[in-house]
Amino acid sequence: MRPVVVFDLDGTLVDSLEEILASFRFVLTGAGLPVPDDARLRSWIGLPLAETFARLAPPEAVAELTAAYRRHYLARLGHRTRPYPGVPERLAELRAAGFGLAVATTKRSGPAKTLLERVGLLGFFDHVQGTDEGMPAKPDPEVVRRAVAGAGGAGVAMVGDTVHDVAAARAAGLAAYAVTWGAGRAEALAAAGADRVAPDLEALPDWLAAVAGRFIV
């Protein structure tokens, strides 16, 4: 079976930080709630929306805030989001080397595919798996396992930018490559058990060539 590499989306493949923060600011301000500073909001990126809003609002307001965020964010999806430097080139290199590629994201599958299409990356992937209704979010490994299954191969590694990505990779039996250009910080990613922590994806192809042999016999 061909080896499959699973990627997180926001903060790993694409720089969507300002687009995400802008939606949080808009929704919280509109509801008359305090807006945390960017560093605090950034630390929660990758969690389910309802879990984030539960930290910021009364329980009875969480569902409406979540729905309002989705309306605002989806109306502007991809307008201020771009792939990180070198991402298209690395993905093309991995495909040429015979790797299957998949995405496992906290976004729902539909918006994730739309965003990837708008930034020109969708065609690189064999499967895009969102955390759809009823599916637990990372660090639970289910979304990662479904991404691997959808790509039709044997999972070897996950690439992400948060400790939740690293934990999900570990729980799914995959090696973990963590980038620091997203929400995560090097010390926390290493402490979470990442096999490789790097500032970008430059070293990913060579690292994967070594890692894949441990999984594919």
Active-site residue, 10 included: yes
pLDDT at 17: 87
The rounded distance, in Å, linking the Cα atoms of 9 and 15 is: 9
Please, where in the chain does CATH 3.40.50.1000 lie?
3-15+82-215
**Residue 67: C-alpha distances to residues 36, 62, 193 (Å):** 19, 9, 34
The rounded distance, in Å, linking the Cα atoms of 190 and 197 is: 7
pLDDT at 214: 61
CATH of domain 3-15+82-215: 3.40.50.1000
Tens place of pLDDT for every residue, the chain, 217 residues?
899 999 999 999 999 888 889 999 999 999 999 999 988 888 887 778 899 999 999 999 999 999 999 999 888 887 889 999 999 999 999 999 999 999 999 999 999 999 999 999 999 999 999 999 889 999 999 999 999 999 999 999 999 999 999 999 999 999 999 999 988 899 999 999 999 999 999 999 999 998 876 654 3
Active-site residue, 8 included: yes
DSSP state of 107: S
* E strands in 109-217: 127-130, 154-160, 175-179, 196-198
Axis crossing angle, helix 62-75 with helix 17-30, rounded to the nearest 10: 130
Catalytic residue, from 10, 15, 161, 165: name it.
Answer: 10
Residue 32, C-beta contacts closer than 8 angstroms, at least 6 positions apart = none
What tokens appear for 77 in the block? 């999806």
The rounded distance, in Å, linking the Cα atoms of 167 and 189 is: 10
State which CATH number among 1.20.1560.10, 3.40.50.2300, 3.40.50.620, 1.10.150.240 fits the domain covering 17-75. 1.10.150.240
Residue 88, C-beta contacts closer than 8 angstroms, at least 6 positions apart = 120, 121, 124
